[in-house]
Amino acid sequence: MKNILKIIVLSLVIGLASCGPTAEQQAKEQATKDSLRLDSLNKAKAEAIEQAYIDSIAAADTIVIMESIPENLE
């Protein structure tokens, strides 16, 4: 009876140890994480470029406005 119980417990321990993710599953998970990180970085880069574009338009508008004001308002 003790031997059967030992065999059952040993089988359960081995069975639980083999339930972890495989190397292939781990690689897929890592690839997904890397892809999400790159998407996030690309989005941040696109937002920065868009903001720089908006800022340059605002600066150009300011220059046009400043040039249209007469220097002597007397």
Is the pTM for the entire model greater than 0.85? no
The larger pLDDT score, comparing residue 14 to residue 31, is at 31
How high does pLDDT run on average in the chain?
A: 87
**What is the C-alpha to C-alpha distance for residues 64 and 52, in angstroms, rounded to an integer?**
18
What pLDDT is recorded for position 72? 64
Q: Among all chains, which residue has been given the structure tokens 């002597």?
A: 72
Residue 52 lies in a domain: yes
Is 22 within the bounds of a domain? Answer: no
62 found inside a domain: yes
- Domains in the chain, number: 1
Residue 59 located in a structural domain: yes
Give the sign of the dihedral formed by CA 43, CA 45, CA 51, CA 53.
negative
Per residue in 7-30, pLDDT tens? Answer: 888 888 887 777 777 888 889 999
In angstroms, the CA 59 to CA 52 distance is 10
| Within a domain: 34 | no
Predicted confidence band of residue 5 (pLDDT cuts 50, 70, 90): confident
The domain of 48 spans: 42-69
